[in-house]
């Protein structure tokens, strides 16, 4: 398991671009809300620690992880967000439902990001049990919300950098 080797909340602040003027959308699943609220808290704290302003962070909720894709699409279409962070938690049960949800959500999030020109970040825990989810939502493995926020900052910075280079090239 890759997380055993890394704490999701550990990073070098010197390697993170400033999020001072960046705008973010966060879409959060209400299913497993103890976990998803912890992920959201980690994401927001990380964005603020890296210069984002609270008024530039739009947080919205959807019923479950399956609805994250449509919620993210709504944020893309109706806000000025430069990156969307999707936060959810799917815990393995006794049926194949877990597989279908995880597959649909991961593919939907990837497709949104590639088709809309807005980074859509996968911050969805897919765990075997509640303990694993807790370990990754502020527990012994850190917070996946922190990792998702850092990814969003880096992707917006990359997009801005490439747009600036393109303008210089013209």
77: alpha, beta or left, given left = phi > 0 and alpha = psi -120 to 50?
alpha
Catalytic residue among 97, 111, 129, 163: 97
What is the phi/psi pair of residue 98, to 5°?
A: -50, -50
Using an 8 Å Cβ cutoff, are 51 and 19 in contact?
yes
**The two structure tokens encoding residue 30:** 């209400």
Active site residue 141: no
Cα-to-chain-centroid distance, residue 29: 11
> Which DSSP letter does residue 69 get?
H
The set of catalytic residues is 97
């Amino acid at each position: 398991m890759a997380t055993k080797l890394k704490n999701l909340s550990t990073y070098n602040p010197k390697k993170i671009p400033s999020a001072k003027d960046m705008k973010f959308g966060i879409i959060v699943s209400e299913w497993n809300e103890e976990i998803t609220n912890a992920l959201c808290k980690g994401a927001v704290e990380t964005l603020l620690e890296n210069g984002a302003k609270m008024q530039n962070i739009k947080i919205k909720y959807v019923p479950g992880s399956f609805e994250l894709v449509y919620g993210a699409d709504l944020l893309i279409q109706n806000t000025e967000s430069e990156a969307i962070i999707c936060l959810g938690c799917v815990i393995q049960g006794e049926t194949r439902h877990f597989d279908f949800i995880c597959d649909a959500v991961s593919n939907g999030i990837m497709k949104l990001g590639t088709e809309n020109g807005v980074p859509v970040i996968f911050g969805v825990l897919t765990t075997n049990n509640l303990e694993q989810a807790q370990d990754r939502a502020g527990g012994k493995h850190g917070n996946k919300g922190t990792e998702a926020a850092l990814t969003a900052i880096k992707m917006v910075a990359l997009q801005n950098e490439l747009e600036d280079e393109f303008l210089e090239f013209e």
